[in-house]
Structure 1
Amino acid sequence: MEVVPNPVSVGPVQIGRGKPLVLIAGPCVMEPNDMTMRIAVRLVAICGELNVPLIYKASFDKANRTSGSSFRGPGLEEGMNVFRRVKAETGLPVTTDVHETHQAAPIAQVVDLLQVPSFLSRQTDLLEAVAATRRPVNVKKGQFMAPWDMANVVAKLQSFGASGTVLTERGTTFGYGRLVNDFRAIPQMQASGAPVVFDATHSVQLPSAGEGGKTTAGQREMIPTLAKAAVAAGCDALFLEVHPDPDRACSDGPNSLQIEDLPSLLRVCLRIREAISA
């Protein structure tokens, strides 16, 4: 029997079967000089024109950077202030990643969806901490995990009383420094009872392939190909890191989409979504 995942509410946005295709998008990390806000405003305009439900994403602390000297973001307190401003000025629901158990409760005061990074997807203490906030949780599938193994993650969160669970596919490690996508993962993870997001930007990462292994490289040109394939495979939402000048982004620029390329990609994805829903 087919398992139909229950929709998950993130503020006014619903992710799940029978709901519109959702976009989770923003910069990899909160950047200085008002860049975080500028990207939010541009995304509101793009998604408003196309009638695409939007959840705004940005990281207040990138704790898993390849190099210890890489830019990490403004930190928890300032990050909370940034999210308050984004919500006040745009009305958007927001999401961010949580790396430490002590971050969950305070950031949940302002964030609508808590994200567990792929490297931490099996960390029971972290899953318990985010579930305890009673905010919905998005867990990125570990690059080292099979899609069906994520059913255990869903079960953990349910046992901890999570208010809703979403899973994200972002590629599987193949050898060293390469990620591959098996699109069977989308229906296989939906079988766990959770809606599934496809992360088209982190899926094109080339881990430790830049600057002599000190940074992550990426194949930005492949983002549209993977995004369209994922929508055809039935994903419930797309996750895209975007930036007006990816080559100068503070983090993950090589695998970020140029924000002005987003409207045309979304139009194609919406047509695919309509076709498979017919």
Structure 2
Amino acid sequence: MKQVQAGSLHVGGDGKLFVMAGPCVIEDPDRILKIGQEMKAICGRLGLPYIFKASFDKANRSSWKSFRGPGLKRGLEILRDVKKELQVPVVSDIHDVSQVAPAAEVLDVLQIPAFLCRQTDLLQEAAKTGKCINVKKGQFMAPEDMKNVAEKISHAGNENIILTERGVSLGYHNLVVDMRAFPIMRSFGYPVVFDATHSVQLPSGAGTSSSGQRQFIGNLARAAAGSGIDGVFMEVHDNPEEALCDGPNMLYLSQVEAVLRDMAAIKAITDQSVSTATK
């Protein structure tokens, strides 16, 4: 299993669960900083590597009326300040080739949204930056199809790849997680992450916005920890009811530590079992 470099961190392949977490979208700069500070403290107490997450633009919202974020220029300024204050790596979504270069000046991890995971030009332009690339598996794709996605990035000269599972569409407004996806994608040699909060999303389930089933985040996260993952992605908020994007599927900050503690413990047991079985 390759380790990948995300800013100052090397993650994956060392048996330690790493965490990518923060609010869905950049809202008030002070509020997202406070969320990041709390997440850093939680991960510090648990001994888990932490990468701050927030989107400067959510280009795939359900409605044109939906809040998208501050945009590229202002959003990157805010993320630069958060990165400086927290002293942790930062990840955010990119949606277009034109965003790659300016985003790479600030971000440690360039994230490819699930809907765009097959966009060859975007993948390869991102790869050329040398930054870590986190690709979310499309809701329409089988896990084995992600090998082609990874090869598009590696062919451009970048092996700094993370693959993220976020559920697959089942009928309308519903996602399910196939736990076989984790060992399948991990067999490609790259760290695999579980997106614990988008996996309980009900896409467009509220008409002009997505709904979600927050109550199942812990169940799926614990199951994923026992199924072979290297990291977890979570969108978290101090009060999801006030969130401007993805509130119904975001986890309360007050609930995060218990879930991560369980995940780390389960992962340790699973890794030990696998190690013993292969001796």
Question: Does the alignment reach a TM-score above 0.5?
Answer: yes
How many pairs are equivalent?
272
Shift of 1:13: 2.1
Question: Contact 1:135/1:163 (CA < 8 Å) preserved in 2?
Answer: no
Q: Deviations over 1:134-173 (max 9, x none)?
A: 1010000000000000000011101111241110000000
Question: Contact 1:169/1:185 (CA < 8 Å) preserved in 2?
Answer: yes
Shift of 1:258: 0.2
Distance in 2 between residues matched to 1:98 and 1:41, nearest whole Å: 24
Whether 2:253 is the aligned partner of 1:252: answer: no
Q: Deviations over 1:187-229 (max 9, x none)?
A: 101112211000010000011111xx11100000000001001
> What secondary structure is seen at the aligned counterpart in 2 of 1:115?
strand
Question: Contact 2:29/2:78 (CA < 8 Å) preserved in 1?
Answer: no
Moved beyond 4 Å, runs of 4+: none
Match of 1:243 in 2: 237
Q: Deviations over 1:104-136 (max 9, x none)?
A: 111100100000000000001110111111101
Match of 1:200 in 2: 196
Q: Deviations over 1:17-62 (max 9, x none)?
A: 2231000000000002521111111111111111111000000000
Distance in 2 between residues matched to 1:266 and 1:121, nearest whole Å: 27
Correspondence 1:28-107 to 2 at 5 A: 28-32=24-28, 34-107=30-103
Sequence identity (%): 49
The residue type equivalent to 1:174 in the other structure is: L
2:164 to 143, 146, 168: 168
Distance in 2 between residues matched to 1:147 and 1:176, nearest whole Å: 20
Distance in 2 between residues matched to 1:275 and 1:157, nearest whole Å: 32
Question: Contact 2:197/2:250 (CA < 8 Å) preserved in 1?
Answer: yes
> What secondary structure is seen at the aligned counterpart in 1 of 2:26?
coil
Question: Contact 1:66/1:214 (CA < 8 Å) preserved in 2?
Answer: yes
Match of 2:134 in 1: 138
Distance in 2 between residues matched to 1:19 and 1:164, nearest whole Å: 18
Q: Could you list the runs of 5+ residues in structure 2 that have no partner in the other structure? A: 273-279
Correspondence 1:200-219 to 2 at 5 A: 200-210=196-206, 213-219=207-213
> What secondary structure is seen at the aligned counterpart in 2 of 1:208?
coil
Match of 1:222 in 2: 216
Question: Contact 1:207/1:215 (CA < 8 Å) preserved in 2?
Answer: yes
Distance in 1 between residues matched to 2:269 and 2:200, nearest whole Å: 26
Match of 2:150 in 1: 154
The residue type equivalent to 2:189 in the other structure is: G
CA RMSD of aligned residues (A): 1.0
Shift of 1:103: 0.3
Whether 2:265 is the aligned partner of 1:265: answer: no
Question: Contact 1:25/1:240 (CA < 8 Å) preserved in 2?
Answer: yes
Question: Contact 2:92/2:110 (CA < 8 Å) preserved in 1?
Answer: yes
Match of 2:107 in 1: 111
Question: Contact 1:27/1:243 (CA < 8 Å) preserved in 2?
Answer: yes
Shift of 1:240: 0.4
